[in-house]
Amino acid sequence: MTVLDFSKLDGLVPAVAQDWETGEVLMVAFMNSEAWERTLSTGLMHYWSRSRRALWKKGESSGNAQEVRELRVDCDGDSVLAKVRQIGGAACHTGYRSCFHRVVEGGAVRLDGVKVFDPAEKYGGKA
């Protein structure tokens, strides 16, 4: 399905995962065409990991998968908005519900978010 233009960013588009119930923005990552197609066919969020240079099924190692509730594309077809059900309650590898748990204000960064798990416990100190 060719609703997305992957040509603007070397084969990638940014994808926003938003909690389908609360509207909280959980994370931003990238999809290539394979990640998009897998997301469509499986109903589970797939991204392209830029650091590992590999297809990344969200939650593959953590168990914290994302079930697709709705997929949207933007006006010029170069980004994705996914409304998801976040399995395990946390999108972030740090244990926070959202990766956006850092507020920038007055020249400083303040933590503001719900921590759902302890990464040291979950990953045995590897996170």
Where do contacts with a second copy occur on this chain (CB under 8 A)? Answer: 1, 3, 8-9, 14, 16, 18, 22-25, 27-28, 40, 50, 70-76, 79, 81, 92-94, 96, 99-105, 107, 109, 112
Nearer to a second copy, 60 or 74 (CB): 74
Cα 85 versus chain centre, distance: 11
- Please identify, using beta-carbon distances, which residue of 70 and 118 lies nearer to a second copy: 70
86 contacts: CB under 8 Å, gap ≥ 6: 17, 19, 26, 64, 66, 97
- 79 SS3 class: coil
**Closest distance between a second copy and the C-beta of residue 86, in Å?**
15
